[in-house]
């Protein structure tokens, strides 16, 4: 009788400890992120760097969806940080803090068979605005087919940044093909001899990057400030960052290891 | 009856109770995983891992896989903790070595640290060829190093496809896990 009761007690205790383990394990905070597909490659590298730097003090859950999705998610408390590749807009929900973490270059790209070397702002606006529809009308291009304009979807921060930096008040023409990510634009331009698009600097492989105002889109030119197509990357929080998010964003902005990570394909703030 | 015999008698009575509890637990678990009336996915996939040659961090392995049906999503699960993943794997038409990128893509999400990644998008084989998906997973340390339990890195793939009922109604289905070939000396074993 005594041994049976002891076994039952031991089993009960073991079950109780097992039930308590998950609660104990979840004491390590989780930083959830969603948003910009342009920021996502940098965010994963920074997350990896941070967990090594802080000895696995946090864990990360990284999602995408586009800058507008990240901003909406953080505004509604669905994520800790919303990643954004565009500046704040008046239409954004209130109470958000846009924590700037890096700069990024937006590069104009054509298919490698199109040897277009440079475009000025009027040329970009004429092509993406639909005023010029044939490559034969673009000085410097060796092609003569119809221009296939490829742009990003409405939720994209890259789209907003491109509009603001390159297009100004001129609208992108309605016949442009919309893609949901940098990678899809990159691949569309790689496959289409007559395509033109724009991507984050990290996505120019396999394309012909076109100089803007005579300045090639390179990391060196972006860092020096010579390249005119720079935009900001943000980690957006609901109010000032707190707790684990505050420590992480502080590390991103000020730690040398973080700055080295950013400098691989992006432009550090300092 | 001696105390020892009494103890043996009571232990014998306790065994059926424990067995019943264990059986009930197994049945409950089975009930939770039993599928509905939909059929299993008919897709077949294969793939492998190779050490990455152009990853931004060390200890990254590129996974490559191909399936014989259109896939809408996939998950990669591994037995080692990962601390990096490609957020936008590339879809190739035919052999990735030919460099013929498709106009399709996947967007990946996951935990860091984690045990894999989940990706959404589309890859549709057609007359131009099957679709190979290539992405990266970072392990934070050499995944081919000798593991404490003697096990090498192992990777499994599951995909989501569209199936059709007898009346033509489409539904999504998850496949069985497919084991991807290892990259450690060509075998999925610890060195």
User: Can you tell me the distance from the alpha carbon of A72 to that of A84, in angstroms, rounded to the nearest whole number?
Assistant: 11
User: Can you tell me the distance from the alpha carbon of A79 to that of A66, in angstroms, rounded to the nearest whole number?
Assistant: 14
State residue B16's pLDDT score.
56
DSSP H helices in A85-132 = 121-128
Chain B residues inside the 8 Å CB shell of A41: 56, 87-88
Residues 147-186 of B with CB under 8 A from A: none
The answer, yes or no, to whether the previous bond of B113 is cis (omega within 30 of 0) is yes
End-to-end CA distance of chain B: 59
State residue A10's pLDDT score.
55
State residue A238's pLDDT score.
98
Q: How confident is the model at residue B149 (pLDDT cuts 50, 70, 90)?
A: low
Given a cut of 70, whether residue B70 has pLDDT beyond it is yes
Percent of all residues in chain B with a pLDDT value above 90, rounded to a whole number = 47
State residue A204's pLDDT score.
93
**Which of A7, A37, A45 lies nearest to residue B88, judging by beta carbons?**
A37
How many angstroms separate the Cα of A88 from the Cα of each of A60, A229, B94?
24, 18, 42
Given a cut of 60, whether residue B170 has pLDDT beyond it is yes
Q: What is the 8-class DSSP label of residue A166?
A: I
- The answer to whether residues A199 and B117 touch, using CB atoms and an 8 Å cutoff, is no
**Is B58 an 8 Å CB contact of chain A?**
no
State residue B2's pLDDT score.
43
State residue A211's pLDDT score.
97
Scanning every residue of chain A, which has its alpha carbon at the shortest distance from the alpha carbon of B99?
A206
State residue B24's pLDDT score.
45
- The answer to whether residues A130 and A149 touch, using CB atoms and an 8 Å cutoff, is yes
Q: How confident is the model at residue B25 (pLDDT cuts 50, 70, 90)?
A: very low
Q: Which residues pair with B164 in a beta bridge?
A: B170
Within a 13 Å sphere around the CA of A184, how many CA atoms are in the beta-carbon half?
Answer: 18
**Which of A44, A60, A180 lies nearest to residue B87, judging by beta carbons?**
A44
Q: What does the mean pLDDT of chain B come to?
A: 79
The CATH number that domain A105-230 falls under is 3.40.190.10
Every domain of chain A and the residues it spans = 8-103+232-262, 105-230
Q: Which residues of chain A have pLDDT under 50?
A: 19-25
- The answer to whether residues A267 and A201 touch, using CB atoms and an 8 Å cutoff, is no
- The answer to whether residues A103 and A232 touch, using CB atoms and an 8 Å cutoff, is yes
Residue-wise pLDDT tens digits, A13-59: 555 555 444 444 457 999 999 999 999 999 999 999 999 999 999 99
Angle between helices B3-33 and A2-25 (to 10 degrees): 30
Q: How confident is the model at residue B100 (pLDDT cuts 50, 70, 90)?
A: confident
Q: How confident is the model at residue B32 (pLDDT cuts 50, 70, 90)?
A: very low
* Cβ within 8 Å of residue B38, ≥6 positions away: B163, B165, B171, B173
Residue-wise pLDDT tens digits, B123-132: 999 998 999 9
Question: Largest Cα–Cα distance in chain B?
Answer: 83
Q: How confident is the model at residue B28 (pLDDT cuts 50, 70, 90)?
A: very low
Are the beta carbons of B112 and A187 separated by less than 8 Å?
Answer: no
Torsion on CA atoms A247, A249, A253, A257, rounded to nearest 10:
70
Residue-wise pLDDT tens digits, B47-67: 999 888 888 888 899 999 999
Are the beta carbons of A62 and B57 separated by less than 8 Å?
Answer: no
User: Can you tell me the distance from the alpha carbon of B18 to that of B36, in angstroms, rounded to the nearest whole number?
Assistant: 30
**Is B83 an 8 Å CB contact of chain A?**
yes
User: Can you tell me the distance from the alpha carbon of B131 to that of A99, in angstroms, rounded to the nearest whole number?
Assistant: 39
**Is B10 an 8 Å CB contact of chain A?**
yes
The answer, yes or no, to whether the previous bond of A250 is cis (omega within 30 of 0) is no
- The answer to whether residues A47 and A249 touch, using CB atoms and an 8 Å cutoff, is no
Provide ipTM, 2 decimals.
0.81
Q: Which of B110, B117, B116 has its CA nearest to residue B81?
A: B116
Q: Where are the beta strands (DSSP E) in A219-263?
A: 230-238
CB atoms within 10 A of CB B33: 6
CATH superfamily to which A8-103+232-262 belongs: Periplasmic binding protein-like II (3.40.190.10)
Min Cα–Cα distance to chain A from B36, Å = 29
Contacts across the A-B interface (CB distance below 8 Å): 86
User: Can you tell me the distance from the alpha carbon of B128 to that of A132, in angstroms, rounded to the nearest whole number?
Assistant: 32
Quick check: do A8-103+232-262 and A105-230 share a fold?
Answer: yes
């Amino acid at each position: 009788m005594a041994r049976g009761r002891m076994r039952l007690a031991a089993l009960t205790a073991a079950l109780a400890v097992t039930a308590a383990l998950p609660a104990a394990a979840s004491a390590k905070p989780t930083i959830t992120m969603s948003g910009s597909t342009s920021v996502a490659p940098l965010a994963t590298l920074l997350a990896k760097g941070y967990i090594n730097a802080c000895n696995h003090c946090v864990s990360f859950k990284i999602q995408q969806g586009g800058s507008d999705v990240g901003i909406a998610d953080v505004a509604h408390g669905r994520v800790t940080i919303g990643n954004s590749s565009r500046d704040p807009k008046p239409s954004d929900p209130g109470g958000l803090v846009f924590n700037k973490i890096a700069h990024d270059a937006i590069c104009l790209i054509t298919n490698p068979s199109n040897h277009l070397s440079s475009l000025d702002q009027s040329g970009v606006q004429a092509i993406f605005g639909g005023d010029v529809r044939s490559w034969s009308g673009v000085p410097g291009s060796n092609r003569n087919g119809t221009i296939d304009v490829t742009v990003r979807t409405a939720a994209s921060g890259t789209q907003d940044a491109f509009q603001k930096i390159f297009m100004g008040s001129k609208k992108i023409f309605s016949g442009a093909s919309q893609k949901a990510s940098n990678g899809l634009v990159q691949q569309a331009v790689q496959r289409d001899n007559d395509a033109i698009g724009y991507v984050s600097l990290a996505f120019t492989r396999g394309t012909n990057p076109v100089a803007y105002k005579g300045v090639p889109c390179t990391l060196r030119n972006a860092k020096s400030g010579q390249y005119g197509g720079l935009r900001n990357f943000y980690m957006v929080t609901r109010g000032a960052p707190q707790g684990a998010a505050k420590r992480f964003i502080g590390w991103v902005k000020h730690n040398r290891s973080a700055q080295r990570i950013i400098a691989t394909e992006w432009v550090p703030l300092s | 009856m001696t105390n020892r015999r009494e103890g043996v008698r009571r232990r014998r009575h306790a065994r059926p109770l424990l067995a019943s509890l264990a059986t009930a637990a197994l049945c409950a678990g089975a009930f939770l995983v039993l599928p509905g009336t939909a059929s299993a996915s008919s897709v077949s996939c294969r793939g492998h891992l190779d050490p990455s040659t152009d990853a931004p961090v060390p200890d990254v392995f590129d996974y490559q896989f191909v399936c014989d049906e259109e896939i809408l999503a996939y998950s990669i699960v591994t037995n080692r903790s990962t601390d990096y993943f490609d957020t936008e794997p590339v879809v190739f038409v035919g052999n990735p070595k030919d460099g013929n990128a498709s106009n399709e893509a996947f967007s990946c999400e996951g935990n860091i640290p984690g045990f894999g990644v989940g990706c959404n998008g589309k890859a549709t084989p057609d007359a131009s060829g099957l679709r190979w998906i290539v992405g990266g997973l970072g392990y934070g340390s050499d995944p081919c190093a000798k593991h404490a339990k003697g096990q090498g890195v192992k990777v499994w793939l599951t995909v989501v496809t569209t199936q059709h009922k007898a009346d033509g109604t489409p539904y999504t289905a998850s496949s069985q896990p497919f084991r991807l070939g290892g990259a450690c000396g060509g075998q999925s074993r610890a060195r």
